Structure formats: structure tokens, C-alpha cells
Amino acid sequence: MKPPIELINYIKNNDNFALVIHVNPDGDALGSMLALGEGLKAIGKVLKMYSRDGVPHYSRFLPNSDIIIQGLPLEDSSTNLILIDCNAPKRAGINGDGFIKKLVIDHHLTEEDFGDIKWVDPSAAASGILIYHIIKALEVDITQNIATNLYTAISVDTGTFRYQNTKADTLSIASELVSCGASPSFVAEHLYNKWSLARFNLLIKFLNSVEIYDDIAITCLTREMIEQTGAGPHDTEDIVNFSGMLETVKTSVFLKEADKDFWRGSIRSTKVNVADVAAKFGGGGHKNAAGFKANSEISVLKKQLLGYLRES
């Protein structure tokens, strides 16, 4: 896997970069951005890193995560944008038109026509894989911090090497990152054993709301349920995977109420292409994991989802 030479040459020959990730960032987005940021600084580049929603408390173990700016960059003619782990500016909360050049680095199946220079490769298990190859192409030494951030990025999007996207090259890269100083036990401890009481209580409400329809599980969390636990917006990250632990469940749907009759949905499946289902609501993602937003009464939305999933 090699990055486009145009992408590498542009990074080498230009400066003043704004690195931006998608809203409600996960470990792949954060780890990838932090690793690339350190790599660019190593070759003397000026840059800033932005996350509209900041860094979730359970991701603050990532090296240098404290320097990520909560907010969005000014879109002006003196800055180059690098959009990471998404390929549509709306996913990052930006317009995207005002930069000198727009560079896109992503591994999601659903692609929009945005970016002057793009590397979008759905065959990569994580954006962290792409960033690893970019750092190699830039001839940057992989420090312990870079290794930890990249290992975390890859761990998150492979379910710590449990998902179908884990291939031989994924494990080979992870092995090299461990050799460079990443600690699998340290990363796993922070990813899985550092839950707040609020997040744990939210999980209880999630599990109590699971509805099973043959091999499809649908779960809803209302604003009231979230407020009752004191959980934050990041505390629902990956919660959809719990209903998928049932051996009879092949597809899991998680619906979170963002406003009255406005829902954010996540779908995971080992059976159907959920990117196609999410696209029916204007969303997208991977074959086995996708997301969407919908304005609808919950009963109507559930019926639509069940219909689409059974047709797929």
C-alpha cells in the first residue's frame, strides 16, 4: 500500500497545515491526526490540529492530545486543510471551501467529491494504516508517541483485531508499532477499563432498551435517559457493539435522540451491507459499520430500518 505521490510531494513542498477530524471523534480519528501531526512537525512543518468536539475523556491518554484545539480552523487562503478519517467537510463541521488546498485521507466506503488531493482507500482497516504509510513515505522515524497513537487508531477500528477487517498486514504493522514503543496493555487498559460511572449507567439503560427482531437488534437512547445518567456526548461511542454480542444477532442498530424526532443512528452487521442502508438516510460508512441521521418519529424510523435491513 503506497500513498499517492502527489499527496506526499504536496506535503513535502508546502506548509501551514490545519489537520481536522470528524465530529464526535473516535480513537482512529484522534490517533491518526496526532501521529500525522508529530510526523509533520518532525520535517519542520507548521500546523495546528482541530476537533470540533474536543477530545473525549477516555481518549486523553493519547500522547499530545492536550494540544488539540477544540473548535474549527479559520478557512483562509494561507492554510492547507488535511481532512482525516472522513471525506466530507460536513462530517467535520466545516465548509471546506476557503483553504489553499484540500487534502483528504480516509478509509470509509462512502465517498464524496471533495478534496484537491485524495487518498481514500476502503481496503485499509483504519485511517491509522494510511497515516502509517504516509509517515513512512515522508521518511519520519516512528517515535513511541507516534507508535502509541497509531496502535490505538488501528486497535479501535479493528475491535482490537477482532473484526473481519483484520488482515495479515494489519497485524504486521501493529507488531512494528509495538517494537517502536507502543504498549498493547497500556492502550487496552485505557480503551476498555477506564469507564466513568455515568457511562456504565448509560450502558445499563442501553441494554434494558434492546429489542430483538429475529437476527436484528434495535436499541434506543432518549435524551432523557442520557440526562438521567449524567453521561456526555462521547459516552455512547461503540455502545452499539454490545447488542451484537448475542450469538443470534447479525445486525445491531443504535438510535440516539439528538432532538425531538431527530435521531443519530449507528449500524453494525456481519450479514448485510449497512453502508447501503445508511445511504438511504443520507449517511454512509463501511460495509459492516455505518451511520446516519434521521428526522422521524421513532416508531416510523424503526419500521423503515427493519424494512431496509430485511431487503438487503
Residue 85 has a pLDDT of 97
pLDDT tens digits, 78-124: 999 999 999 999 999 999 889 999 999 999 877 778 999 999 999 99
In order, the DSSP letters of 142-156 are --HHHHHHHHHHHHH
Query: Residue 20 above 90 pLDDT?
Result: yes
Q: Does 237 have pLDDT greater than 90?
A: no
Examine the pLDDT at 308 and tell me if it is beyond 80: yes
Predicted pLDDT of residue 164: 87
pLDDT for 102? 97
Average pLDDT over residues 131-147: 98
The CATH number of 197-311, from 3.30.230.70, 1.10.3720.10, 3.40.50.720, 3.10.310.30, is 3.10.310.30
Query: Mean pLDDT, the chain, as a whole number?
Result: 94
The band of 309, judged by pLDDT with boundaries at 50, 70 and 90, is very high
- pLDDT value at position 241? 84
Domain boundaries, the chain: 5-191, 197-311
What share of the chain has pLDDT > 70, as a percent? 100
pLDDT at 312: 81
Q: pTM score, two decimals?
A: 0.87
Most confident by average pLDDT, 163-167, 170-174, 272-276: 170-174
Q: Could you name the CATH architecture of 5-191?
A: Alpha-Beta Complex (3.90)
pLDDT digits (tens, 9 = 90+) for 141-150: 999 999 999 9
Average pLDDT of the residues in 287-295: 90
Task: Please tell me the least confidently modeled range out of 40-44, 167-171, 234-238.
Answer: 234-238
pLDDT band at 195 (very low <50, low <70, confident <90, very high): confident
